[in-house]
Amino acid sequence: MSQSLQRLSVFPAFFRVRGKNVAVFGNGDEAYAKARLIANTDALIIAYADDPQADYAAWLGQHGIEPIRKTFAAGQVAGATLVFAATGDQALDQTIVTAARAHGIPSNAVDQPDHCDFFTPALVNRAPLAIAIGTEGAGPVLAQMIRARIDQMLSPSLGKLASLATDYRDAVERAVPRGVSRRIFWHRFFSGDVADAVDANDHTAARRAADALL
Protein backbone atom coordinates (compact mmCIF):
# COMPACT_ATOMS: atom_id res chain seq x y z
CA MET A 1 0.00 0.00 0.00
CA SER A 2 1.39 3.40 -0.94
CA GLN A 3 2.01 6.05 1.70
CA SER A 4 -0.70 8.27 0.20
CA LEU A 5 -3.32 5.57 0.68
CA GLN A 6 -2.46 5.36 4.39
CA ARG A 7 -3.22 9.01 5.06
CA LEU A 8 -6.43 10.14 6.68
CA SER A 9 -8.55 12.93 5.25
CA VAL A 10 -9.49 13.96 8.81
CA PHE A 11 -7.50 14.87 11.90
CA PRO A 12 -8.67 13.01 15.03
CA ALA A 13 -9.24 15.46 17.89
CA PHE A 14 -11.41 15.99 20.94
CA PHE A 15 -13.48 19.14 21.41
CA ARG A 16 -13.73 20.75 24.85
CA VAL A 17 -17.48 21.01 25.45
CA ARG A 18 -17.94 21.18 29.23
CA GLY A 19 -20.66 23.73 29.94
CA LYS A 20 -20.97 24.65 26.26
CA ASN A 21 -24.02 24.50 24.02
CA VAL A 22 -24.26 21.73 21.44
CA ALA A 23 -27.28 22.12 19.17
CA VAL A 24 -29.12 19.10 17.77
CA PHE A 25 -31.78 19.67 15.11
CA GLY A 26 -34.29 16.94 14.41
CA ASN A 27 -37.17 14.88 15.76
CA GLY A 28 -36.33 11.29 15.01
CA ASP A 29 -33.86 8.46 15.52
CA GLU A 30 -30.81 10.28 14.16
CA ALA A 31 -31.29 13.29 16.41
CA TYR A 32 -31.96 10.96 19.33
CA ALA A 33 -28.74 9.04 18.61
CA LYS A 34 -26.68 12.23 18.46
CA ALA A 35 -28.20 13.51 21.69
CA ARG A 36 -27.37 10.24 23.45
CA LEU A 37 -23.80 10.45 22.19
CA ILE A 38 -23.42 14.04 23.40
CA ALA A 39 -24.85 12.99 26.77
CA ASN A 40 -21.57 11.13 27.38
CA THR A 41 -20.05 14.59 27.90
CA ASP A 42 -20.68 17.62 30.09
CA ALA A 43 -22.02 19.65 27.17
CA LEU A 44 -25.40 21.38 27.35
CA ILE A 45 -27.69 19.80 24.78
CA ILE A 46 -29.92 22.28 22.96
CA ALA A 47 -32.59 20.17 21.25
CA TYR A 48 -34.43 21.86 18.40
CA ALA A 49 -37.30 19.44 17.91
CA ASP A 50 -40.68 20.83 16.94
CA ASP A 51 -42.31 17.37 17.12
CA PRO A 52 -39.94 14.83 18.72
CA GLN A 53 -40.84 11.18 18.41
CA ALA A 54 -42.08 9.59 21.61
CA ASP A 55 -38.91 7.83 22.78
CA TYR A 56 -36.76 10.88 22.03
CA ALA A 57 -39.21 13.15 23.86
CA ALA A 58 -39.19 10.77 26.85
CA TRP A 59 -35.38 10.69 26.91
CA LEU A 60 -35.19 14.47 26.78
CA GLY A 61 -37.61 14.67 29.69
CA GLN A 62 -35.59 12.18 31.72
CA HIS A 63 -32.50 14.33 31.22
CA GLY A 64 -34.22 17.59 32.06
CA ILE A 65 -33.94 18.92 28.52
CA GLU A 66 -36.87 20.94 27.26
CA PRO A 67 -37.09 20.67 23.46
CA ILE A 68 -37.34 23.91 21.54
CA ARG A 69 -40.45 23.33 19.46
CA LYS A 70 -39.75 25.72 16.62
CA THR A 71 -39.07 25.28 12.94
CA PHE A 72 -35.55 26.13 11.84
CA ALA A 73 -34.32 29.70 11.69
CA ALA A 74 -30.71 30.60 10.93
CA GLY A 75 -30.23 32.50 14.18
CA GLN A 76 -30.83 29.34 16.24
CA VAL A 77 -27.25 28.19 15.69
CA ALA A 78 -25.78 31.28 17.36
CA GLY A 79 -23.95 30.47 20.58
CA ALA A 80 -23.47 26.80 19.83
CA THR A 81 -20.04 25.19 19.94
CA LEU A 82 -21.10 22.33 17.67
CA VAL A 83 -24.16 21.80 15.50
CA PHE A 84 -25.76 18.51 14.45
CA ALA A 85 -28.25 18.60 11.59
CA ALA A 86 -30.32 15.44 11.91
CA THR A 87 -33.76 16.30 10.60
CA GLY A 88 -33.89 13.58 7.96
CA ASP A 89 -34.50 16.26 5.33
CA GLN A 90 -31.27 16.55 3.35
CA ALA A 91 -32.00 20.01 2.01
CA LEU A 92 -32.91 21.32 5.44
CA ASP A 93 -29.85 19.73 7.01
CA GLN A 94 -27.68 21.43 4.40
CA THR A 95 -29.36 24.74 5.20
CA ILE A 96 -28.58 24.23 8.89
CA VAL A 97 -24.95 23.45 8.09
CA THR A 98 -24.69 26.55 5.92
CA ALA A 99 -26.04 28.69 8.76
CA ALA A 100 -23.61 27.15 11.24
CA ARG A 101 -20.65 27.71 8.95
CA ALA A 102 -21.67 31.34 8.50
CA HIS A 103 -21.19 31.67 12.27
CA GLY A 104 -17.90 29.77 12.18
CA ILE A 105 -19.43 26.78 14.02
CA PRO A 106 -18.31 23.24 13.09
CA SER A 107 -21.30 21.21 11.98
CA ASN A 108 -22.33 17.69 11.07
CA ALA A 109 -25.11 16.69 8.68
CA VAL A 110 -26.13 13.12 9.38
CA ASP A 111 -25.49 10.72 6.47
CA GLN A 112 -24.11 13.53 4.31
CA PRO A 113 -20.30 13.29 4.60
CA ASP A 114 -19.74 16.09 2.08
CA HIS A 115 -21.62 18.44 4.39
CA CYS A 116 -19.75 17.53 7.58
CA ASP A 117 -16.96 19.56 9.13
CA PHE A 118 -16.35 16.64 11.50
CA PHE A 119 -17.52 13.07 11.96
CA THR A 120 -18.81 11.53 15.17
CA PRO A 121 -16.97 8.37 16.17
CA ALA A 122 -18.15 5.18 17.75
CA LEU A 123 -17.24 5.75 21.39
CA VAL A 124 -15.89 3.55 24.16
CA ASN A 125 -16.46 5.60 27.31
CA ARG A 126 -14.32 4.97 30.38
CA ALA A 127 -14.32 8.62 31.43
CA PRO A 128 -11.93 10.34 31.59
CA LEU A 129 -10.54 7.74 29.20
CA ALA A 130 -12.23 7.80 25.80
CA ILE A 131 -11.56 5.66 22.75
CA ALA A 132 -13.03 6.95 19.51
CA ILE A 133 -13.29 4.85 16.36
CA GLY A 134 -13.96 6.57 13.07
CA THR A 135 -14.16 5.62 9.40
CA GLU A 136 -14.37 9.14 7.90
CA GLY A 137 -18.07 8.48 7.46
CA ALA A 138 -17.45 5.51 5.19
CA GLY A 139 -18.62 2.71 7.46
CA PRO A 140 -20.42 3.59 10.69
CA VAL A 141 -21.51 -0.04 11.18
CA LEU A 142 -17.87 -1.16 10.97
CA ALA A 143 -16.94 1.44 13.58
CA GLN A 144 -19.69 0.15 15.88
CA MET A 145 -18.50 -3.44 15.43
CA ILE A 146 -14.96 -2.46 16.40
CA ARG A 147 -16.28 -0.41 19.32
CA ALA A 148 -18.14 -3.44 20.66
CA ARG A 149 -15.01 -5.60 20.49
CA ILE A 150 -12.86 -3.01 22.27
CA ASP A 151 -15.56 -2.43 24.88
CA GLN A 152 -15.51 -6.13 25.76
CA MET A 153 -11.72 -6.14 26.01
CA LEU A 154 -11.36 -3.24 28.44
CA SER A 155 -12.08 -3.37 32.15
CA PRO A 156 -14.91 -1.14 33.37
CA SER A 157 -12.48 0.11 36.05
CA LEU A 158 -10.15 1.84 33.58
CA GLY A 159 -11.90 5.16 34.09
CA LYS A 160 -11.30 4.99 37.84
CA LEU A 161 -7.65 4.14 37.20
CA ALA A 162 -7.29 7.13 34.87
CA SER A 163 -8.95 9.39 37.44
CA LEU A 164 -6.56 8.14 40.12
CA ALA A 165 -3.65 8.93 37.83
CA THR A 166 -4.94 12.49 37.57
CA ASP A 167 -4.87 12.72 41.39
CA TYR A 168 -1.19 11.71 41.39
CA ARG A 169 -0.05 13.89 38.49
CA ASP A 170 1.29 16.76 40.64
CA ALA A 171 3.04 14.42 43.06
CA VAL A 172 4.70 12.59 40.18
CA GLU A 173 5.75 15.91 38.66
CA ARG A 174 7.53 16.78 41.91
CA ALA A 175 9.00 13.40 42.83
CA VAL A 176 9.81 11.53 39.63
CA PRO A 177 12.32 12.89 37.09
CA ARG A 178 11.15 13.38 33.54
CA GLY A 179 12.15 10.88 30.91
CA VAL A 180 12.77 7.17 31.46
CA SER A 181 12.07 7.24 35.21
CA ARG A 182 8.67 8.81 34.73
CA ARG A 183 7.71 6.46 31.92
CA ILE A 184 8.66 3.52 34.13
CA PHE A 185 6.57 4.93 36.98
CA TRP A 186 3.47 5.29 34.85
CA HIS A 187 3.94 1.90 33.26
CA ARG A 188 4.04 0.30 36.72
CA PHE A 189 1.11 2.44 37.84
CA PHE A 190 -1.13 1.33 34.97
CA SER A 191 -0.07 -2.33 34.84
CA GLY A 192 0.85 -3.40 38.37
CA ASP A 193 -0.53 -3.41 41.90
CA VAL A 194 -2.29 -0.06 41.53
CA ALA A 195 -4.30 -1.24 38.55
CA ASP A 196 -5.07 -4.57 40.22
CA ALA A 197 -6.37 -2.83 43.34
CA VAL A 198 -8.56 -0.47 41.34
CA ASP A 199 -9.94 -3.40 39.38
CA ALA A 200 -10.77 -5.06 42.70
CA ASN A 201 -12.51 -1.85 43.80
CA ASP A 202 -10.05 -1.47 46.70
CA HIS A 203 -9.19 2.21 46.44
CA THR A 204 -7.35 2.30 49.76
CA ALA A 205 -4.99 -0.41 48.54
CA ALA A 206 -4.67 1.36 45.20
CA ARG A 207 -3.50 4.58 46.83
CA ARG A 208 -1.16 2.67 49.11
CA ALA A 209 0.40 0.96 46.09
CA ALA A 210 0.65 4.26 44.22
CA ASP A 211 2.35 5.91 47.21
CA ALA A 212 4.85 3.05 47.30
CA LEU A 213 5.83 3.76 43.70
CA LEU A 214 6.75 7.37 44.41
pLDDT digits (tens, 9 = 90+) for 153-194: 999 999 999 999 999 999 999 999 999 999 999 999 999 999
Segments of the chain assigned to CATH 3.40.50.720: 4-120
Is the CB of residue 107 less than 8 Å from the CB of residue 141? Answer: no
CATH fourth-level superfamily of 121-154: Sirohaem synthase, central domain (3.30.160.110)
Domain limits, CATH 3.30.160.110, in the chain: 121-154
Q: Which residues contact 71 (CB under 8 A, 6 or more apart)?
A: 50
Q: Using only the alpha carbons of the chain, give its radius of gyration.
A: 21
| CATH code of the domain occupying 4-120 | 3.40.50.720
Peptide bond just before 140 cis, omega within 30 deg: no
Query: What does the pLDDT look like over 52-107, one tens digit per residue?
Result: 999 999 999 999 999 999 999 999 999 999 999 999 999 999 999 999 999 999 99
